[in-house]
Amino acid sequence: MKLAICASEAFPFCKTGGLADVVGALSSNLSKSNEVENVVLFLPKYRDIGKTAFSPKKITGNFIIPVSDRRETVNLYLVEWGRVKVYLVDNPRYFDRPGLYRTSSGEFSDNDERFIFFQRAVLEALKFVDFKPDIIFCHDWQTGLIPAYLKTLYSIDAFFARTKTVFTIHNIAYQGMFGKETFVKAGFSWFDFTPDKLEYYGGINFMKAGINYADIITTVSPSYAKEICENAQIARGLEGVLNFRKNSLFGILNGIDTEVWDPATDTFIYKGYDLKTFWRGKPYCKKMFQKEMGLEQNKNKILAGCVSRLDWQKGVDMIADVANRFLDKIQFAVLGSGDKEIADKLRAIASAHPSGFVFIEEFNEELAHKIYASSDIFLMPSRFEPCGLSQMIASRYGSIAVVSRIGGLKDTIFYNPDNLIESNGFSIDLPTQSNLSSMLGHIISVYNSKEIWSNIVKNAMKTDFSWNKSVSEYTALFKKISGIDNNLT
């Protein structure tokens, strides 16, 4: 089976959040599967992408694609990354600028054109490098038009005659909605500008296009798959389209890269530890972290970590709202950037209580690792959560996840108040301040029962968050739609 994966970000090349982790790990894991012969990954060639450890090689020649009423040149660069060939799609007009999607003052105003360019370039690039995929595996709105292009402009193109598309929804809150002029720029026929096809409230919605036209739609957890069909607040206007395609929608839980996220070998953290040595390793990490961050040096205080985008979705504002009540028992360390109002709130409480609350407003990979390793609990009271990676990473580092029981959090963190010995974390039914407060109060009492706590830590660290199961589920779906049986083609 030949797979072409397309996305707007993938770790370790470019990352703003979980999408990158998932696309990077999925690409790498799928390339190792016996069911898959070749994997190519397409990414935009952002300004900083070639400045990492990779040196992309320019592919000789170039080609032209139409965007709006112009003709744009596409240059391709190649990075051989393990068994994955990574093609970087280049056009300086669109990608040679700081940041992936936005500046601190807002989204780039030409994001529609940037990703129309990228998607049309990917389809032509497949021909240019002569890679005829069985499956084009698309991720989130930035690639939602690809399934639509294949079923419209490319419907009679023999090169793609056997190609099927899979569209994965990582977060339905970001849909890529634009006006009618974007529909024109994308080059579709007016024949397809109807509500059952590409039209969306007088404009175009890239995610709707992916959902409508892909052969299969997946999303990143079984619970979220259900929620986006049933809950209009979560589906944000796409519940109708999703219900229509319900039989082609599958929830497959994300995994985490267990090599990158391994407390035994992690070189960022103060001291490595595993299931047998966490009781020694974690307190050491906590002590060093408290020292580095200027927190009170006190082993008896619970250290609550949070590594997150600052966005209403994540409920980090609730942490700022309840923290005051617990500062005598709990220390807080929040690493995150994003929404200004949430950041202001966090900054205010951190400056009022520097020995009990630390807020680091940046994107910092090393510090993220240190927080996962040093904290006793990890707060993630999300208001909605397609899958979530941070709660899985935290669990692997023995930092007990405190989550709301929704989406992927529900599918990964198991809390039974009547049987704590079998729990791997704590969950609240609804993400509210009062629920979070009562849960923190409960956690303070459980933390004092060292044996029970130690059991929860072991359960968390032992939970299987690897990609193995998900990769088998994806390959089974790919085989089913492409009509490929056990033999490789």
Query: Taking CB under 6 A as the rule, which mask of x and - marks residues 350-379 in contact with ligand ADP?
Result: -------------xxx--x-----------
Q: How far apart are CA 261 and CA 197, in angstroms?
A: 41
Tell me the sheet residues that pair with 79.
86
Residue 96 binds to ligand ADP (criterion: CB under 6 A): no
Q: Looking at beta carbons only, is 96 or 107 nearer to ligand ADP?
A: 107
Q: What is the 3-state secondary structure (H, E, C) of 67-117?
A: ECCEEEEEEEEEEEECCEEEEEEECHHHHCCCCCCEECCEECCCHHHHHHH
Q: Looking at beta carbons only, is 409 or 443 nearer to ligand ADP?
A: 409
Residue of 1, 17, 215, 333 that binds ligand ADP (CB under 6 A): 17
Q: How far apart are CA 8 and CA 171, in angstroms?
A: 13
For the chain, the farthest-separated pair of C-alpha atoms sits apart, in whole angstroms, at: 68
Nearest distance in Å: CB 390, ligand ADP: 4
Comparing CA positions, the residue from 235, 125, 89 lying closest to residue 173 is: 235
Nearest distance in Å: CB 313, ligand ADP: 7
Q: Which stretch binds ligand ADP (CB under 6 A): 13-21, 139-147, 275-283, 439-447?
A: 13-21
Residue 21 binds to ligand ADP (criterion: CB under 6 A): yes
Comparing CA positions, the residue from 172, 186, 100 lying closest to residue 140 is: 172
Residue 336 binds to ligand ADP (criterion: CB under 6 A): yes
Residue 425 binds to ligand ADP (criterion: CB under 6 A): no
The residue of the chain with the least Cβ separation from ligand ADP equals: 18
Residue of 93, 236, 309, 442 that binds ligand ADP (CB under 6 A): 309
Q: Looking at beta carbons only, is 149 or 359 nearer to ligand ADP?
A: 359
Q: How far apart are CA 416 and CA 423, in angstroms?
A: 6
Tell me, what DSSP letter sits at residue 399?
A: P
Residue 337 binds to ligand ADP (criterion: CB under 6 A): yes
Residue 8 binds to ligand ADP (criterion: CB under 6 A): no
Q: Looking at beta carbons only, is 182 or 399 nearer to ligand ADP?
A: 399
Q: How far apart are CA 298 and CA 220, in angstroms?
A: 39
Q: Are 71 and 64 in contact (CB under 8 A)?
A: yes
Nearest distance in Å: CB 166, ligand ADP: 20
Q: How far apart are CA 71 and CA 44, in angstroms?
A: 18
Nearest distance in Å: CB 365, ligand ADP: 5
**Both tokens assigned to 382:** 């999300």
Residue 389 binds to ligand ADP (criterion: CB under 6 A): yes
Nearest distance in Å: CB 125, ligand ADP: 27
Residue of 27, 31, 308, 399 that binds ligand ADP (CB under 6 A): 308
Query: Taking CB under 6 A as the rule, which mask of x and - marks residues 248-287 in contact with ligand ADP?
Result: ----------------------------------------
Comparing CA positions, the residue from 381, 418, 397 lying closest to residue 460 is: 397
**Both tokens assigned to 455:** 């059991």
Q: Looking at beta carbons only, is 17 or 56 nearer to ligand ADP?
A: 17
Residue of 67, 148, 335, 457 that binds ligand ADP (CB under 6 A): 335
Q: Which stretch binds ligand ADP (CB under 6 A): 41-49, 199-207, 278-286, 384-392?
A: 384-392
Residue 388 binds to ligand ADP (criterion: CB under 6 A): yes
Nearest distance in Å: CB 413, ligand ADP: 12
Nearest distance in Å: CB 399, ligand ADP: 12
Nearest distance in Å: CB 21, ligand ADP: 5
Q: How far is CA 396 from the centre of its chain?
A: 17
Nearest distance in Å: CB 461, ligand ADP: 17
Which single residue is written with the structure tokens 């520097």?
A: 354
**Both tokens assigned to 38:** 């070749």
Angle at Cα 135 formed by Cα 132 and Cα 137, nearest 5°? 120
Is residue 216 left, alpha or beta, with left meaning phi > 0 and alpha meaning psi from -120 to 50?
beta
Interacting residues of 76 by C-beta distance below 8 A, sequence separation 6+: 58, 59, 62, 87, 88, 89, 90, 125, 128, 129
Nearest distance in Å: CB 368, ligand ADP: 4
**Both tokens assigned to 290:** 């408290």
Residue 292 binds to ligand ADP (criterion: CB under 6 A): no
Comparing CA positions, the residue from 39, 23, 41 lying closest to residue 31 is: 39
Instruction: List contacts with ligand ADP (CB under 6 A).
Output: 17-19, 21, 307-309, 335-337, 363-365, 368, 388-390, 393
